Amino acid sequence: MIIDYLHNLNHYKFSTPLLKAFEFLQNNDLQNLSEGKHEIEGSKIFALINSYETVEPEKENMESHLIYTDVHYVIKGNEQIGHGFLQAMPKQKHIDINNDCIIYDAQPSFYSTLMEGMFAVFFPHDVHMPGIFLQKKCLVKKVVIKVAL
């Protein structure tokens, strides 16, 4: 897992597929892109743009992925993302192979805050719970880029 501001991207050395995800973030007017799916490299790399209201942790689930690495980027608003370690997760609650999502019945071990202009990279072994409010609910516009590594 990596969490930082997009303007610090030059401090990292990413593989080519992840670089393509960051190029999408840097080379598009994210504020004005329509919500929904935007293909970058077919089903190997694509962006999902979504707006939502943040919620209490009890209303979300911890999740991980088998195939895709997630790059979360907050366009507008702020949220907390819960984290946990895969080894510490209980048995899976639900596995959705078609959507590359494993759901766990567990609460996060810790939280990080994502604010406008920040990104987070979650590798398949990084269990996470996005969309959690800070002190009160707020509207978030975010892009999640799915990168098959």
Residue 115: the pLDDT is 97
pLDDT at 149: 81
Provide the pLDDT for residue 132.
Answer: 96
Q: Where are the domains of the chain?
A: 2-148
Which pLDDT score is estimated for 88? 75
pLDDT average per 10 residues of sequence, the chain (149 residues): 95 95 97 96 97 93 93 98 83 82 88 97 93 94 96
Which pLDDT value is given to residue 76? 97
**What pLDDT score was predicted for residue 105?**
85
Residue 54's closest CA among 81, 17, 29?
81
**pLDDT for res 93:** 81
Closest CA to 142 of 6, 8, 2: 6
CATH number 2.60.120.370 is the correct assignment for the domain at 2-148: yes
CB 80 within 8 A of CB 134: yes
Specify the pTM.
Answer: 0.93
User: What pLDDT does residue 37 have?
Assistant: 97
